[in-house]
């Protein structure tokens, strides 16, 4: 240890020599002219400002690497690996089919119950996992947040996008089920992409909002699983939205309801409930914008309180 | 030249007990919201009271492109807060910073390293976290691997790395950042001696390329070696901004209180214990500033309950740059070792002749060792300190600061040759 200290210290005479060296070499170095306006101006921010999209774009590679890390690490040292992505909705589907499909005789709009349940569980599992991991993502990245600058929204957003990989894998099983039950595809399947985008946006919105709140109130960590569970029962997963009949608008206040019904309509070629879908889309957008502003307002204190 | 960093009236206010506030529960906050209007009405203008403190207050400075500036100060002086604001980790409360170049900060090496990922994967992840583009990292990948010296294990998960390898890889990524402004916090205190030397070399080459560097360290030697200029922070305020050697010596002079004597509480479970250490003149008077020409004494009083054969008392003398200048013990060879000391109190006194130490500040570590590797009875680390004042050395007459660590009087003879 002492040797290293000795190494680092020069005596004063050598010091002056090295200092003058630095000066001459700096002088010979060609300086690029400085910009007239500062590249970055750091000021106390006002409380309501929109997201800094330019910064997000500059750091797009980091988003890629954060997603890549989450995906890569998720199934390391697991015996079943990626199969877990299918296992969760598959076994839930089997249990629900037995309990609700067979025993309770739940209606399923004329679709075989297992298929009906799996088509609902698929987007739900993605949404629930994405919101949970996104909601805990900032607190889990405290070491990054206190040590280095990068646009903070990348962390909860990356957590959601990483969930899309599992979503895609679980979709493969759906394809198998659909072949098994001989479901014919219709043009409605084209709605799948906008539905996935909306679900992702909703998960990003809720996830960002929860992650920011979680930094300040660790209550979120405990409340989130509970809220997700309630939300599950408020969504038409084990039951069809049609059982509500005239009260459908009530269930439509849950943006996931319109989306899940939308998935079923797209996959099984059934008519879309456009009003419900529009309501879900509108709610998703409003919620995401609100979440973005809330996040922006809270992010400046993340490093101080995390 | 116009500045590349401009800091104006910078201030950062923290709430005292912010840590507790961060664990505020939702319930507290809800209750707080309800009560807020009343509280505001009741305690108007209580904002600046004792509930808050300024970690940084009214700091102003400008840094020209290519300057290498050290930031020094005690713990809690606001160095970290300043760096965190410069690197945009936390927002200022007042004032602002303008940066006219791309900035990268290294407040820690290996930020975001994931133990499950391989060295190769972590280079990319860490590079992206530090603000590098994927293409930039790919272009410098081979250089980074070569610098880190872990090429054989580059496809092994870093959780299997030794701590030395881990740190080398982490530093290698950081060292290959190429921003115009680089902020460094204490990252040099990593790795083994050889790697530290390599790091210092890399740092000075970065500085010589015309990069602007802000360097925070407790190692005054490193600050003097790397920086051309230094800023001293004290309780959040910038108290001095001048050339590095001046700033460092000023910092050391004013921040260290000299202690000429120290006594220690008796710890009965120790077989041999140091009871007190003191510095005195040859005449036995207590001293804190002493002329460099005069001898002085270090006295160690100790208690023996159970002596181990061959134990010895010793002293280390450190200068202000933390260099161990001198070591001395009460026995000089194995033959002189003491077989047995009866239980009781003893006094060891060593005399350091005049002229051995050149003007400056010195710290004395006293210890009693039992023979065998690393078995210390008692170590009192830098418990006493002393300023050696220049009592009219030859060079001081010409206005030259003492530039050698020691000035031991040597015998010179001059004879006429023709």
Tell me the pLDDT tens digit for each residue of B287-341. Answer: 877 888 889 999 999 999 988 888 899 999 998 777 888 999 998 888 888 888 9
In the β-sheet with B272-281, what is the strand arrangement from edge to edge? B261-263, B272-281, B296-304, B344-352
Contacts of residue B265, Cβ cutoff 8 Å, sequence gap at least 6: none
Distance from CA of B310 to the nearest CA of A (A): 25
Distance CA A37, CA A283 (A): 40
- Are the beta carbons of A72 and B117 separated by less than 8 Å? yes
pLDDT at B258 over 80: no
Q: Is this complex scored with an ipTM above 0.90?
A: no
Give the Cα separation of B407 and B405 in Å (integer): 7
Give the pLDDT band of residue A279 (cuts 50, 70, 90): very high
In whole angstroms, give the CA distance from residue B304 to residue B272: 5
- Rounded to an integer, the average pLDDT of B224-242 is 88
Least confident range of A75-84, A88-97, B128-137, B273-282: A75-84
Share of chain B above pLDDT 90, in %: 28
- Residue with more model confidence, A227 or B197: A227
Answer whether residue B43 shows pLDDT above 70: no
Q: Is A3 in the B-facing interface, judged by CB distances under 8 Å?
A: yes
CB contact under 8 A, A22 and B196: no
pLDDT higher for A142 or B405? A142
Does residue A33 belong to the interface with chain B, where contact is any CB pair within 8 Å?
no
Helix (H) or strand (E) holding B142: helix B134-148
Residue A40 pLDDT exceeds 70: yes
Predicted local distance difference test score (pLDDT) of residue A139: 93
Q: Using CB atoms within 10 Å of the CB of residue B394, give its burial: 0 to 12 exposed, 13 to 18 middle, 19+ buried.
A: exposed
Predicted confidence band at A5 (pLDDT cuts at 50, 70, 90)? very low
d(CA B24, CA A216): 7
pLDDT at B30: 62
Beta bridge partners of A42: B97
**Inter-chain CB proximity B99 and A76 less than 8 Å:** no
What per-residue confidence (pLDDT) applies to B270?
A: 86
Q: Which residue among A13, A26, A59 sits closest to B66, beta carbon to beta carbon? A: A26
| Mean pLDDT for all residues in chain A | 84
Q: How far apart are CA B392 and CA B228, in angstroms?
A: 29
**B25 with A41: Cβ contact below 8 A:** no
In this model, does residue A241 exceed pLDDT 90? Answer: no
Judge residue B80's burial from the number of C-beta atoms within 10 Å of its C-beta, 0-12 exposed, 13-18 middle, 19 or more buried: buried
Cβ–Cβ contact A24 with B under 8 A:
no
pLDDT given for residue A123 in this prediction: 95
Q: What percent of chain A has pLDDT over 70?
A: 87
What is the average per-residue pLDDT within A101-126? 90
Query: What value does the mean pLDDT take over residues A90-110?
Result: 89
Distance in Å, alpha carbon of A225 to nearest chain B alpha carbon: 16
Q: Spell out where B146-228 has E strands.
A: 181-185, 212-216
Q: Is-contact B224 B248, C-beta < 8 A?
A: yes
Higher pLDDT: B51 or A257? It is A257
Among chain B residues, the shortest Cα distance to A36 is held by: B100
Give the per-residue pLDDT at B234.
Answer: 86
């Amino acid at each position: 240890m002492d040797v290293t200290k000795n190494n680092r210290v020069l005596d004063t005479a050598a010091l002056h020599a090295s200092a003058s060296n630095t000066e001459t070499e700096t002088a010979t170095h060609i300086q690029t002219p400085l910009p007239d306006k500062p590249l970055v101006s750091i000021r106390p921010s006002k409380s309501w400002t929109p997201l800094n999209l330019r910064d997000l774009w500059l750091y797009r590679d980091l988003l890629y690497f954060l997603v890549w890390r989450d995906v890569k690490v998720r199934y390391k040292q697991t015996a079943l690996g990626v199969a877990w992505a299918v296992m969760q909705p598959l076994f839930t589907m089997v249990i629900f089919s037995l309990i609700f499909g067979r025993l309770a005789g739940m209606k399923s709009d004329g679709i075989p119950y297992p298929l009906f349940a799996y088509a609902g569980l698929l987007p739900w599992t993605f949404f629930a996992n994405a919101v949970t991991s996104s909601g805990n993502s900032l607190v889990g990245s405290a070491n990054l947040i206190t040590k280095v600058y990068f646009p903070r929204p990348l962390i909860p957003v990356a957590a959601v996008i990483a969930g899309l990989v599992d979503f895609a894998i679980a979709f493969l099983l759906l394809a198998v089920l659909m072949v098994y039950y001989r479901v014919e595809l219709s043009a409605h399947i084209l709605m799948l992409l906008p539905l996935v985008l909306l679900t992702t946006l909703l998960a990003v919105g809720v996830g960002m909002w929860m992650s920011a709140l979680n930094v300040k109130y660790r209550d979120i960590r405990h409340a989130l699983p509970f809220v997700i569970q309630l939300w599950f029962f408020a969504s038409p997963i084990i039951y069809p939205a049609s059982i509500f009949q005239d009260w459908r608008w009530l269930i439509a206040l849950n943006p996931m309801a319109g989306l899940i019904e939308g998935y079923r309509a797209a996959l099984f070629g059934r008519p879309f409930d456009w009003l419900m879908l529009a309501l879900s889309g509108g709610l998703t957008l409003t919620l995401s914008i609100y979440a973005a502003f809330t996040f922006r307002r809270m992010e400046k204190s993340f490093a101080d309180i995390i | 030249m116009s500045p590349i960093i401009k800091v104006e009236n910078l201030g950062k206010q923290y709430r005292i007990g912010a840590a507790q506030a961060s664990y505020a529960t939702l319930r507290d906050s809800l209750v707080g919201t309800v009560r807020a209007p009343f509280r505001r009405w009741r305690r108007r203008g209580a904002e600046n009271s004792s509930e808050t403190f300024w970690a940084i207050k009214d700091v102003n400075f400008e840094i020209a492109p290519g300057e290498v500036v050290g930031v020094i100060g005690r713990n809690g002086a606001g160095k970290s807060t300043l760096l965190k604001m410069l690197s945009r980790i936390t927002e200022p409360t007042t004032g602002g910073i303008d940066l006219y170049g791309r900035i990268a900060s290294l407040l820690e090496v290996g930020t975001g390293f994931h133990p499950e990922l391989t060295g190769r994967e972590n280079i990319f992840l860490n590079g992206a976290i530090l603000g590098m583009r994927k293409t930039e990292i790919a272009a410098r990948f081979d250089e980074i691997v070569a610098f880190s010296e872990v090429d054989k294990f580059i496809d092994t998960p870093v959780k299997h790395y030794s701590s030395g390898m881990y740190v080398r890889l982490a530093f290698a990524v950081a060292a290959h950042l190429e921003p115009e402004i680089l902020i460094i916090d204490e990252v040099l205190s990593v790795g083994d001696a050889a790697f530290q030397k390599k790091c210092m070399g890399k740092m000075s080459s970065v500085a010589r390329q015309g990069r602007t560097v802000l360097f925070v360290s407790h190692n005054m030697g490193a600050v003097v070696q790397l920086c051309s200029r230094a800023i001293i922070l004290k309780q959040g305020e910038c108290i001095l901004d001048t050339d590095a050697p001046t700033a460092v010596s000023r910092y050391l002079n004013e921040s260290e209180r000299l202690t000429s004597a120290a006594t220690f509480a008796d710890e009965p479970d120790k077989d041999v214990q140091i009871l007190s250490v003191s510095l005195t003149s040859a005449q036995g008077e207590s001293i804190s500033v002493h002329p460099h020409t005069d001898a002085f004494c270090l006295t160690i009083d100790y208690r023996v309950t159970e002596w181990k054969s061959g134990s010895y008392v010793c002293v280390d003398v450190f200068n202000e740059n933390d260099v161990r200048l001198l070591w001395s013990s009460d026995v000089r060879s194995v033959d002189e070792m003491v077989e047995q000391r009866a239980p009781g109190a003893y006094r060891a006194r060593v005399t350091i002749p005049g002229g051995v130490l050149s003007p400056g500040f010195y710290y004395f570590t006293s210890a009693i060792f039992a023979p065998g590797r690393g078995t210390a009875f008692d170590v009192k680390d830098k418990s006493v300190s002393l300023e050696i004042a220049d009592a009219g050395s030859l060079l001081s007459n010409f206005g030259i600061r003492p530039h050698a660590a020691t000035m031991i009087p040597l015998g010179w003879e001059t004879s006429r040759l023709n």
